[in-house]
């Protein structure tokens, strides 16, 4: 069974994305990255990306992560804060720790695309 199916599919991904962005947009360290951003559109991209990354049935057809985050100057600390908000979101939705770890393993390599040259 895919991670996507094990967490509840499309409904769970949608709920997770909504809660995740509430947390991220309430974080004063991160709000600057989202000025002049269409958050509803961003959520749609995020749902598609996460769904595909977790083994869902739809393909992600958005821009590559490096291109989507190019020029934003995302720091390793801010990347870590975003990851922390994702973990907190998944935990609050009752996703088992083992599954959260698998999701983290799937998404961790993206740090090089989102915060290039930083580890």
pLDDT tens across 104-115, in order?
888 888 898 998
d(CA 115, CA 31): 17
**Tokens, residue 81:** 């804060």
- How far is residue 47 from each of residues 4, 42, 73, 87, measured CA to CA in Å? 11, 9, 23, 16
- The residue among 80, 77, 42 whose CA lies nearest residue 63 is 42
pTM, two decimals, is 0.85
DSSP states of 3-58: HHHHHTHHHHHHHHHHHHHHHHHT-TTTGGGGTT--HHHHHHHHHHHHHHHTT-SS
Instruction: Go through the domains of the chain in sequence order and give each one's CATH number.
Output: 3-114 (1.10.490.10)
pLDDT tens across 2-55, in order?
889 988 999 999 999 999 999 999 999 999 999 999 999 999 999 998 898 888
């Amino acid at each position: 069974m895919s991670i996507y199916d094990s967490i509840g599919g499309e409904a769970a991904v949608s709920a997770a994305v909504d809660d995740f962005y509430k947390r991220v947009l309430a974080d004063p360290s991160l709000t600057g990255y989202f000025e002049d951003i269409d958050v509803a559109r961003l959520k749609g991209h995020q749902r598609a990306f996460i769904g595909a990354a977790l083994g869902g049935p739809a393909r992600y057809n958005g821009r590559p992560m490096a291109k989507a985050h190019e020029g934003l100057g995302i720091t390793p600390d801010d990347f870590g804060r975003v990851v922390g908000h994702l973990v907190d979101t998944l935990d609050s939705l009752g996703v088992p720790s083992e599954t959260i770890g698998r999701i983290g393993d799937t998404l961790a390599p993206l740090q090089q695309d989102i915060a290039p040259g930083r580890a």
